Structure 1
Amino acid sequence: MNEALRGVWLSITAYLILSVFKLGAGYLYGSEALLADGWNNASDIVASIAVLIGMKIALKPADRNHPYGHSRAETVSSLFASFVMMAIGLQVLFHTATVLLDGPKESPPLNSAWIALIGVIVMGSVYFYNHRLATKTKSHGLMAAAKDNLSDALVSLGAFIGIIGARFDMYWLDPLTGFIVGLIICKTAFGIFKESSLMLTDGFDKEKLNEIQDTIQAIEGVEALVDIKARMAGSSVIVDAVVEVAPELNIEEGHSITDKIEEKLEKDHDIHNTNIHVEPGKRNL
């Protein structure tokens, strides 16, 4: 987790520098696309700081009031970040829609397009770094940040195209691109909100649960899987399962099967928190 924090700090630094340049150039050159892109980066600063705080709290060990640890702090911070991003996205939509309705205006200078292109290169580089680091550290929070980095690079690419188009007398393309950027901000915010709220309400991916179920049922000694539940605690998966084993097994033999289940889930699915309850199966007469 400590290593993954470097990727979040890198994102914050990149967003801070780019948002200052893009917002300043957007106001100076009158580019709605560049302004929208700058506000997008500004919203990502807040989102990244929230994720950073959540990841730091998640590192705290379990205590008397948090026997399962503080992993969900990362999810709560992501939920907060989604509200901030949605508010900024709606503001961008409202502003660019107003500019579109006002009619044509002077196209922004070519310098603003190069600033947007620099944003594409910077955020593309940050994405590749964070994606590699997230894969190495298996950090879900950093992987989500990496996906956001990629969307930011695409947003900057859209701003670049919009500004270039405006230079060819397509005046409407610059504010239209800004409006599309606003939609992307809102879509990203809703995606973060949906995933965070699902995790906080103990929702879990059904396909992944089926894969875990198949793994348990294939383990030697497991006669039947009676019940299984899974939930997320930050980046960690917690599995509760009830399995039936041969009724003639003693306690030590039954415990050995639970050890096999735990080892298999850790190896195949990177699950370190399991609660396995063993029950005697039906006796063959």
Structure 2
Amino acid sequence: MDTYQDIRKGERAALLSIAAYIFLAVLKVVVGKIGHSDALLADGLNNTTDVIASLALLIGLRISRIPPDADHAYGHRRTETISSLIASIIMVLVAIQVVISAVQTLLAKDYAAPSMLTAIVALFSGFFMYGIYRFNFQLAKKIDSQAVRAAALDNRSDAFVSFGAFLGILGAAIGLPWLDPFTALLVGLLIGYTAIKIFYDAAHSLTDGFDVSKLETIHRLIASVEGVKEVRDIKARLNGNRIWIDATIAVSADLNVTESHAITEKIEATIRQEFQNTYTLVHIEPFEENKSSSGR
């Protein structure tokens, strides 16, 4: 498994997002100002934070490529997750700014009629970012990267935000001027929702949280290996896109060291057929018929 090659692919995804966000941020802010659209301007400000978030992702991926050293025996893969955490915090701050600005406009009823150019830019941006999302999401599945997946979800959120901005601008243009700042408010709330989701996923991983359904699948895979009498304990955690598994199994007390070791190798091979980026440490105990299981 060339996991470092996968990280390089993730870096290319981050660079693609940075280029796309810089282009769209400049386009939306300029056209939003000229065309008097709060929704498009809010969308453009959102993209400026996406540039910073993507830079954090790129830096995290670069650091995660550093091999293990004396005080990082497991490598530096968690910097990838930390970058997702930083990105989510930046997104929350922007969401608060956008929501406050939209609420102030709605309360003051200081509406301006946006031009149709802003609607065209918003619609174009939506389709553009959805294409970026599809590319990054497929790549995230291929390399199993939490950070790239978070970036892809942010791309999708940005696409929906742009489509929403388009509808808001269109509504304002046909006689509902309040719809543009109202859409800006929804944009801010959507940014905040996406940020909270990314924050939760990153925090869950950093605190050694692990998907229970995946853990049950791993338990089933270990139990299916010939020679395993009982799975007495199993734990798993994420380190970047790697899964580290600690398992305690019981085997026949009549087996010698070589035979017991062969079972552990079968376990590792079986798990990797389902989850490629896994590292499994198996502790072996003798199986006794009258010994009660300690459970998982």
Give 1:173's aligned residue.
179
Give 1:198's aligned residue.
204
Contact 2:223 2:230 in 1 (8 A): yes
Contact 1:59 1:70 in 2 (8 A): yes
| Secondary structure of the corresponding residue to residue 155 of structure 1 | helix
Give 2:116's aligned residue.
110
Q: 1:142 aligns with which of 132, 142, 148?
A: 148
| 1:17 corresponds to 2:32 | no
Give 1:119's aligned residue.
125
Aligned letter for 1:241? A
| Secondary structure of the corresponding residue to residue 219 of structure 2 | helix
Give 2:70's aligned residue.
64
- Alignment RMSD, CA only? 1.2
Structure 1 segment 263-274 matched on structure 2, within 5 A: 263-274=269-280
Structure 1 stretch displaced more, 2-11 or 90-99 = 2-11
Task: Report the CA distance shift for 1:72/1:61 in structure 2 as closer, same or farther (over 3 A).
Answer: same
- Could you report, residue by residue, the CA deviation over 1:31-75 in whole angstroms, capped at 9, with x for unpaired residues? 111011111111111111111111111111000010000000111
State the aligned residue count: 284
Distance across 1 between alignment mates of 2:10 and 2:83: 16
Give 1:78's aligned residue.
84
Aligned letter for 1:279? E
Q: 1:48 aligns with which of 46, 49, 54?
A: 54
Contact 2:241 2:277 in 1 (8 A): no
Q: 2:283 aligns with which of 256, 277, 280?
A: 277
Aligned letter for 1:44? D
- Flag structure 1 segments of 5+ consecutive residues without an equivalent: none
| Secondary structure of the corresponding residue to residue 123 of structure 1 | helix
Distance across 2 between alignment mates of 1:80 and 1:144: 12
Structure 1 segment 117-266 matched on structure 2, within 5 A: 117-266=123-272
- Flag structure 2 segments of 5+ consecutive residues without an equivalent: 1-6, 291-296
Determine what percentage of the aligned residue pairs are the same residue.
43
Distance across 1 between alignment mates of 2:266 and 2:215: 18
Structure 1 stretch displaced more, 115-124 or 98-107 = 98-107
Give 2:13's aligned residue.
7
Distance across 1 between alignment mates of 2:65 and 2:26: 31
Aligned letter for 1:82? S
| Secondary structure of the corresponding residue to residue 67 of structure 1 | coil
Q: TM-score, normalised by structure 2?
A: 0.93
Aligned letter for 1:19? A
Contact 1:246 1:283 in 2 (8 A): no
Q: Write out the 4+ residue segments of structure 1 that deviate beyond 4 Å after TM superposition.
A: none
Contact 2:157 2:191 in 1 (8 A): no
